[in-house]
Each structure stands twice: as structure tokens, then as C-alpha cells.
A and B are shown apart, each in its own frame.
Chain A
Amino acid sequence: MDKMPKWADIALIPFINLLLALVVSGLVVLYIGESPLEAMAIMVRGAVGTAYGWGYTLYYATNFIFTGLAVAVAFHARMFNIGGEGQAALGGLGVAVVCLSIPWPHWSLALLGAIAGSAAFGAAWAAIPAYLQAKRGSHIVITTIMFNFIASALLVYLLVNVFRVPGSMAPETARFAEGTHLPNAYDIAPWLGFSRSTPLNVSFLVAIVACVGVWALIWRTRLGYEIRAYGHSQTGAVYAGINPVRIIMISMLISGGLSGLMAINSVMGEAERLVIDPVQGAGFVGIAVALMGRSHPVGVFLAALLFGMLYQGGAELEFEMPSVSREMLLVIQALVILFTGALDNMVRTPVERLFLAMRKGS
């Protein structure tokens, strides 16, 4: 059949998309009277030029891998899980409960406990919209968005009224005990030049394990087969005797669980306490990451890395070029999402034509 080669589909097109986004971003930078090339250089240097930069880039990327995988798994069942933000916040609650309630003797045990707690809380938060979709037909997009707001309100209530340290004004939990502190990149590999306070921690390895796990789940297990079949054709799934309610519930539970896992990075690994907004938009970035990564774990990993670079490089740019405001950075990130996610076909169609024309000519 007339198709373009696979490498063009998974590598070339995202690359062109990204390039276009950067060119348009450059025009924006030019418009405010700064040099796009210089801005670009600052961003790249800030993100990957130093061990300090890498520490933050990979820390952000870890968050986005979890939330990106969450969106990807649900999307294989054609569930659009917009609720990563809320599910990750509840995951944070799970981490806090696990870390505060048990005197952990060693971080590795605490990590296992926190993985279980965060995944369980995130999955539980996804379970309600999933049930409403599966049994009542309430649209998952609407309900998961609403559950983001409910999660945020719930967290504020709990942090103010339940978890707040008596006498403190800050709506946050007490600092977690020493036994729960995850080793960071400095603890693990001091020779790589990370600073003592780098946020990059052992959760990054958990994220990589999660990528492999999701890959195996989707492409190697019977459940993954059923999830993909249901996602491609719901009538086909009914024909094959695949229970739609079961697929919706399980895929959303896994999705919510993965979102929840994000909290072991930000809450346990970095903040070491639960603050009022532990997710900071990573749930939404996960949607863009999954879109750009085409719901494949390798793609999600690479896209998460890119967004990690954008976040960290952007922070540096804001610092070094005062005329580039925070909002401007949002514009640049939005452009990347726009070009890689929403405008994908704009590039895809001409590139496909080009390949066909080349083949015809040869």
C-alpha cells in the first residue's frame, strides 16, 4: 500500500513539527526585540549544558513520563483521560499518608510503600469517572476534568484542616521523616557532577521501569491486546466477547495509577512533604507528551525529555532574558503542543505526498 516509511512517521514528522514550533517561537522572541538564536542558545545551555540543568530537566521529564504514560494507556482504549492532574494530586496524598503514618526503616521499603500508596490513590480517583463512563455513559473527558477541580479542593481542605502542622501557617504537611528520603542523583552518582540539592532522584529509574512495563502490558499481554482491540473497535470487541465495562475500568485504573506514581517524584523525592499544588500542571503536559509520543512508551519517554528541556531551559531563559516573561514561555510551550499535537496533519499530509512522489519518480 502507499504509505511512507515508518521512520518518517515516528521520527521525521515530529522533528519537522518541532522545528516549525521553534521557528514560530523565534518570531515571537524577535517581536519583543531579542535575538532568537541567543534565546535558543540560553535554553539549550540551561537545559542540557550543565549537570545542574540536566538535574532539573530529568526531574521534570520524570513527572511527564508518568503522566504521559497514564494518558497513553487510557488512549489505547480510546479513553481520553484529562484527569492526570487530579489523579496525581491524589497520588501525592497517598504518598503523604504512607510516609507520615509508618516509621520506615529504609528508603527502599518506603519507596515500595509509596509506589503502592500513590498508585492506589491515583487509581481510586480515576475509578469514579471510569465507573460513570462504563455504566452510565457519562463522558470521561467531562468527568475527569471535573475531578481535577474536586481533587484540588479536597487537597486544600485536607492540608488546611487535617495535615497542617499545628501552629504553622503553611497549608502543607510536616516534612517526611529521614527514612523516607529518596536518594538523589548526587547520592547515587556524585562523580557526574550533580549538586547536593539536585531534584533528580531515584524516581527517574522507576519511570523507566514504568515505560518498559507499559510496553509489555500493551503489546505482550492478553489484557493489552484486549485494550487495543476495544480502542480500535468497540463493536469488534463485543463480537470477540471482550467486556467493555471491564476494559474501561481496568485501563482507567492503570492510567490513574500511573498518574498517581508521579507523586513519588515530586512529593517524596523532591519536596519531601505534601504542598498545596504538588502537580504543577504536569497532568496536562502529560496529554501533550502522549500525543507527541504517539502513545508509545519510547515516544512518551522522548517527548517527556523534550518537555523537561523546555521547562528547565525556559526557566533559565526567564532568568537570563528579563524581557521574556513567564507568559512568553507558556506561549512557546503552547506552540510546541500546537504543532506537535493539534497540527500534526498539517505536516503529515504534505510529507506523505512528498514520499509518494519520490517513490513514483524512482
Chain B
Amino acid sequence: MTDTEPYAIELKGISKAFGPVQANKDISLHVRKGTIHGIVGENGAGKSTLMSILYGFYKADAGEILINGQPTPIPDSQAAIRAGIGMVHQHFKLVENFTVVENVILGAEDGAMLQPSITKARRILKELSDEYELHVDPDSVIEEISVGHQQRVEILKQLYRHADILILDEPTGVLTPAEADHLFRILNGLKEQGKTIILITHKLREIMEVTDSVSVMRRGEMTATVQTADTSPEELAELMVGRKVLLRVDKAPANPGEVVLDVKDLRANDDQKVERLKGISLQIRAGEILGIAGVAGNGQSELLEVLGGMIPAAGGAITVNGDRIDLTGSHSDGQSRRARGIAHVPEDRQREGLIMPFMAWENMGFGYHHDPKYQKNRLFMDNAALKKDTAEKMERFDVRPPNPFLEAKNFSGGNQQKIVVAREIERNPDLLLIGQPTRGVDIGAIEFIHKQIIALRDQGKAILLVSVELDEIMSLSDRIAVMFDGQIMGEKLPSETNEGELGLLMAGVTKGAA
């Protein structure tokens, strides 16, 4: 490649404002053909807005887009597709009950009759999958194939539409480490065939592993573009946050005490009566963190939900501090669990942990609204006490802005999570259940939340941590249990295992079977 060859993508002075919020400020970006370019930045840094402009969802207020050196206005996604741009969204846009080939041709049919399109697509899919290691059975139904395969379908969809530039938004969030490695092999294969790839992610490790160059965004501005080989994760993190951050978690060795949580042969079903927990047994002692690793959807959510009193169990036994707790019936709800000293930071703060239209002070009492100190008398709640309490907790947990009267939906993801974490940790629970503590949370807040979790452990509390981020599990846990298909595949000490071994367990491969 010579220097005179035009860039595959060139953005010049892109600006976009939403009301008073300047989401993109004078952004310029140059991506060479046949390279993988990473874009990193915290939530709300403007990555998604920029990509939405490139894909025609938003119109920029100012600036120019050049594709292969040609000025190319992109007013809508059809224009983006015509310009050879394909996008793989974080949440797949697939029709669950259609087959692979039907999904691939959806919206790109050649005429009113489907059969000729399907025949043609089948042939092209065969060629593409041979060329790029993108193997999927064209006739399987989407809902029956794994998430990794679904993602391949998304990529195939874009290639079928002759995309030369692929944008992938947080593509590894739902993948096992092995699946992620396979994805990177596919991306490298695509790169060698001359495709240009833009990878949006918050995982610095992936940036280092797979990209050729990387751009960092902060507060709507492009703060740096560097060659990946010339940088380090620490430097990228600093560029993202604007100050030095600690990527590693500092913690003293655990000092486990009495058993706090003892779970024996726990079973649970979902709404469709499918068994999601198939006999889980585990113990957590005071002063230790048990991390549950696993690919999303292997029963970790149900484990948290049963322990937190959100769904009933179908069998087994749970004891907390030696007392058996109810698994079904009216004494198995969230209120009863809280009364037992169990606090719960749920996986999904927006749907469970917070009521988004409620103000911060209303959310600070959520789940604890029966607490006598928030009652004025038998009839009325003591809102003043709750507001005062909220202001103090927001101060201690550095929630920004520290305004108890702001609605939850108006806080950033990290600050929303800090509200939930503050509410639960400040109850001083014996057992803290915490699911995806830092999902969609910016790096600065991750550091803070991790410190709070470690501090709670050091006070001698038991903590059950569920996370799909293997890094987080590895760095926080004192012991790691891996879940697959509703069972615990094995327990490891973080010092004696590695991502490869955990990855195999997460995929359901035990030593004997492998």
C-alpha cells in the first residue's frame, strides 16, 4: 500500500449536537483500507453517535464523509449500504424464528419470489464461509444456534450486501473467550482480503490484540489516534479518562471466616418450565468473594434471582448464617431476603435495580421502603429522612451530580450503578449478591465500584459476584466457580488458573471430555 492511496474512510470535522449536548466535536478520522481500526472511549464519549452518523442514522451538523477518497453524503442507512458500509450491532438485528439464509436475504431480496434469492444466497454463503471461516448451516433457525454463530450471520449479512467496511459495535460482549478468538481470526481473514474494519469496544485487551491503529474518544472529542504497536493499555486508559487509572485491583489476601451462604443442590425453572439451575452447590465464607464466571445465559442470572428472592426455587436448600431460608411462598420474596441481611445489586440496573422515572432519593429507598427509619407513622413515609439519607450516600459514593432530585434516567450509567451499589452496600449486609457490577460503566466508576466491593469483603462480608467480564472475575474473586448450562463445571483459585482453562469450562468442556 502506498501513501497516495486514498483512505477507506475519512471523516473531516464531524460535529453533532443533541440540544445543548455536544455529542461529537470536530471529529476527524482516517482509516486505511485493509486495516482494523479500534475506537475506544467511555460511555457517552460519542463513539456510538459517530458510528451512527457514518451509518446514516443521524445527520451531522457539520463535516464531511469521504469513502475511498470520494465525498459521500450518507443521509440514511440505504446510502451507507450502497457506499459499502456494513454494521454489526451490539444487539443483533436478526429474526429469531427465520433461518440463517432467510435472515441473510431479508431486505436484499431480488424480487417478489423468494426462491431465486434463496438459491443465490445459499451459493454465496457457501463461498463466503469457505473464504472467511464463517461456517454456519444456512438452514438452521436463528434461535437454535449459539450467540457466536448468530454473530457470524450478522457478519455474513453485511458481506452479502457487498460491505467493504465493517463496523462492529462491542462484538465480544456476549462471547466466550474461545468464540472471541475465533471472531478475531475471522476479522483478520477479512482484513487480509482487503476489507476495512472498525471495532468499537471498551476492552483494551482486545484493542491491543487485534487492531492496527486505535482512536480514543473523550467527551465528544477525538483525543488521540495512535498505532496500536506504539501504545499500551495504561496509556489508552489514561487517554480515555483524562487521568491515571488503576487497571489492576489492589487487594490483600482474603481472610475467610465462618460459612455465610451455603447452597445445596439448588434447582430452578424459568417461565417456560425449562430447568435453568440443575443442582447448584456452593459455599461462601465471611470475608471472601466467590466469582461466578460463565457466558451469559448459563444460569448465573437465575442463581442471583433465586438468592435475591425474585424467582422461586424448584428444589434444594439455602442456608444463610446457618438458618434455612424459604425457597418458595410469601417468605421467599425480596423483602424477606433483605430481612435476612442479603443485599442484591441486580444485573440489570435499568429494569430491576432502579425505577428510571423515579428521582434519586426515591430510588435510594427502593427495596428498603419498609425500613422504619423511612416511615413517619403507620400511614405516611418520611420522605424528608429518605432525602437526607440519599444526599449523604450520594456524597460518600461520589455520585455525580450529587442531586437527590434528579431522575435516575438522567444519570450516566456509572452514576446509576453507584446509586444502586451505595444503596445496597450501605445496608451493611452479611451477604452481597452483585451481578455485572460494571456493565456499561465508565472506567473511573469501575475503579471506584471495585474498591467498594473489596472494602466490603475486608469488613468480613460474604460476596457473590456474577460477571461476564472474565477480567473482572479474575481480578476481584478469591475463588472462581464456572457455570455452564445451569451447573457448576468446576471451582478454581484465580492464582492457579488462566483464561484458557476458564474459557474451556465456560464452554462446557471438562478435562475428562476434552
Contacts and interface: CB of A to CB of B under 8 A. Distances in A.
Interface of A: 1-2, 216, 220-222, 225-226, 228-229, 232-233, 235-236, 238-243, 356, 359-360
A360 B19 contact: yes
B81 to A, nearest CB: 29
27 contacts: A1-B410, A2-B18, A2-B21, A220-B380, A220-B381, A225-B369, A225-B381, A226-B369, A232-B355, A236-B353, A236-B354, A238-B310, A238-B334, A238-B352, A239-B308, A239-B310, A239-B334, A240-B334, A240-B367, A241-B334, A241-B335, A241-B336, A241-B337, A241-B367, A243-B333, A356-B20, A359-B20
Contacts of B338: 241
A216 B376 CA distance: 13
B116 interface: no
A339 to B, nearest CB: 25
B366 A236 contact: yes
A236 B355 contact: yes
B20 A235 contact: no
A241 B354 contact: no
- With most chain B CB atoms within 10 A of its CB, the pick from A232, A238, A241 is A241
Contacts of A238: 310, 334, 352
B334 A221 contact: no
B344 interface: yes
Contact of A240 (B17, B336, B357, B369): B369
A225 B381 CA distance: 9
B223 interface: no
A44 to B, nearest CB: 37
Given A2-B19, A2-B21, 9 more contacts: A1-B410, A2-B20, A221-B381, A232-B357, A233-B351, A233-B356, A239-B308, A240-B334, A242-B334
Given A2-B21, A239-B310, A360-B19, A222 B375 contact: yes
B355 A220 contact: no
A191 to B, nearest CB: 38
Contacts of A242: 334
B358 A239 contact: no
A-B CB proximity, top 7 nearest:
A241-B334, A2-B19, A241-B335, A240-B367, A239-B352, A241-B333, A356-B19
A235 B381 contact: no
Interface in B323-341: 330, 333-338
- With most chain B CB atoms within 10 A of its CB, the pick from A225, A356, A360 is A225
A238 B353 CA distance: 10
B171 to A, nearest CB: 27
Contacts, number: 77
Nearest to A220: B380
- With most chain B CB atoms within 10 A of its CB, the pick from A216, A226, A229 is A229
A222 B362 CA distance: 11
Contacts of B337: 241
B20 A229 contact: no
A183 to B, nearest CB: 30
Contacts of B380: 216, 220-221
Nearest to A1: B410
A158 B346 CA distance: 54
Contacts of B367: 239-241
B513 interface: no
A223 to B, nearest CB: 9
Contact of A239 (B336, B353, B369, B383): B353
Nearest to B339: A241
B369 A221 contact: no
B112 interface: no
A235 B352 contact: yes
Contacts of B370: 222
B82 to A, nearest CB: 30
B379 interface: yes
Contacts of B362: 225
B309 interface: yes
A2 B358 CA distance: 17
A249 to B, nearest CB: 14
Contacts of B18: 2
Interface string B110-135: 00000000000000000000000000
Nearest to B376: A220
A226 B369 CA distance: 9
Interface string B216-251: 000000000000000000000000000000000000
Contacts of A240: 334-335, 366-367, 369
A135 to B, nearest CB: 15
B324 to A, nearest CB: 19
Nearest to B365: A225
Contacts of A235: 348, 351-352
B351 to A, nearest CB: 5
Contacts of A359: 19-20
Contacts of B310: 238-239
A242 B352 CA distance: 12
A282 B383 CA distance: 35
Interface in B57-75: none
Nearest to B370: A222
Interface string B273-306: 0000000000000000000000000000000000
Contacts of B383: 220
A222 B335 CA distance: 14
A359 B20 CA distance: 8
A7 to B, nearest CB: 17
Interface in B345-404: 346, 348, 351-358, 362, 365-367, 369-370, 375, 379-381, 383
A313 to B, nearest CB: 36
A221 B351 contact: no
A241 B19 contact: no
A117 B370 CA distance: 32
Contact of B356 (A226, A232, A356): A232
A228 B362 CA distance: 11
Contact of A233 (B334, B335, B355): B355
A222 B366 contact: no
Contact of B344 (A226, A228, A239): A239
Contacts of A221: 379-381
Nearest to B336: A241
Nearest to B346: A239
Nearest to B406: A1
Contacts of A220: 380-381, 383
B381 A360 contact: no
A10 to B, nearest CB: 15
- With most chain A CB atoms within 10 A of its CB, the pick from B335, B344, B355, B410 is B355
Contacts of B381: 220-222, 225
A226 B367 CA distance: 10
A116 B375 CA distance: 28
Given A226-B369, A359-B20, A236 B335 contact: no
A323 B352 CA distance: 57
B138 to A, nearest CB: 36
Contacts of B17: 360
Nearest to B309: A241
Contacts of A226: 369
A228 B366 CA distance: 11
Nearest to A353: B19
Contacts of B335: 240-241
Contacts of B346: 239
